[in-house]
Amino acid sequence: MTGQGAPVAAVDCGTNSTRLLVVDAAGEVLDRRMAVTRLGQGVDATRRLDPAAVERTIAVLRGYRQVMDRLGVGRVRLVATSAARDAKNAESFFEQAAAVTGTRPELLSGSDEGRLSFAGATARLPAGWDRSEPVLVVDIGGGSTELAVGAPAGAPPAAVSVDVGCVRVTERLLGGDPPSAAQLDEARRAVAEELGRARRSLPAPGAGGQLVGLAGTVSTLSMLASGTAVYERRLVHHTTLNRRDVELWLERLAGEPAADRARRPGMVEGRADVIVGGVLILAEVMAAFGQSRCLVSEDDILDGLAASLLA
């Protein structure tokens, strides 16, 4: 089936992971996949995509194309974000991605990325959330963090992107294993400075926990906090993290080497070496915007992209 009633697919080539979502014409999920490919490995320092990172990502995209073919996908949105925005040789990656998927990647701006994440995350909020009140959505990626504020039932949100992500912060500022106290202090100062600028350019979100957190850092932290050893969407989606627990987990994870973090129940494979940078960003977002709680959402930019194909 390749007509209007065919399934649609969204593919996100991020700095740390490459993800796929396939939904049918009614928006029901047919398949959702994630692979840590670390496309942005070294990009912060070199401004180039590493050939091995490109090869890893292309291999995953080739497999995703097979999934899409099996499910009869008609239309596809394939996007690239922070790593590709920064890389001087992104065009070569785009050509290879188009060759294996049949779809040329769209290079999203940071603000477009933020608005799509907001659309996906706020489409199905829990019962009791006031959709007329401003909500802050934070999408912590590998190379950048997107922040969007708006009322889910209102006009499109205001969105900004800051160049702090779990991979970038780790590579630039958290070189120790585990990081030293001085490295952590410097990372917190640098992230807080970037978020302070973002805070001044955005409207105020609602008080009392109107914060929604997206992406692997937040999902992994939810699993660690609950002791969930094996990922199940229903055990993570719309759980809540409070600010005190985020700070406690930051201290705990930063105090041990990556090998020990990797053995913790709930640690997602491929994330142990960058989780400290990601949790640090979440802690600083909560501090900068005065939020005491964070709603964990597994609905994200992929859902926003898929919805755009069905509109």
pLDDT, residue 171, reads: 92
Mean pLDDT of all residues belonging to the chain: 93
CATH architecture of residue range(s) 8-108: 2-Layer Sandwich (3.30)
DSSP calls for 193-233 = HHHHHHHHHSPPPPTTT-EEEESHHHHHHHHHHHT--S--H
Q: What is the arithmetic mean of pLDDT over 125-149? A: 91
Q: Could you give the CA distance from residue 48 to residue 118 in angstroms, rounded to a whole number?
A: 29
Mean pLDDT computed over 238-252: 96
Please state, in angstroms and rounded to a whole number, the distance separating the CA atoms of residues 104 and 109: 16
Tell me the per-residue pLDDT of 8-18, one tens digit each, with 9 for 90 and over: 999 999 988 99
Say what the pLDDT of residue 282 is.
98
Q: Are strands 158-162 and 211-214 parallel, antiparallel or unpaired?
A: unpaired
Overall average pLDDT of the 261-267 stretch: 95
Pairwise CA distance, residues 2 & 310, whole Å = 14
Q: Which residues contact 158 (CB under 8 A, 6 or more apart)?
A: 148, 149, 150, 201, 202, 203
Note the CATH number of domain 111-301.
Answer: 3.30.420.150
Q: Retrieve residue 286's tokens.
A: 């909560």
What is the pLDDT confidence band of residue 1, given thresholds at 50, 70 and 90?
very low
pLDDT at 207: 61
User: 107 pairs with which residues across the strands?
Assistant: 80
Closest Cα to residue 165, out of 33, 275, 47? 275
pLDDT band at 25 (very low <50, low <70, confident <90, very high): very high
Fold match flag (8-108 vs 111-301): yes
For 246-256, what is the mean pLDDT?
97
Distance CA 180, CA 290 (A): 27
Q: How far is CA 238 from the centre of its chain?
A: 16
Q: What is the pLDDT of residue 206?
A: 66
Please say if the pLDDT value at position 62 is more than 50. yes
Domain boundaries in the chain?
A: 8-108, 111-301
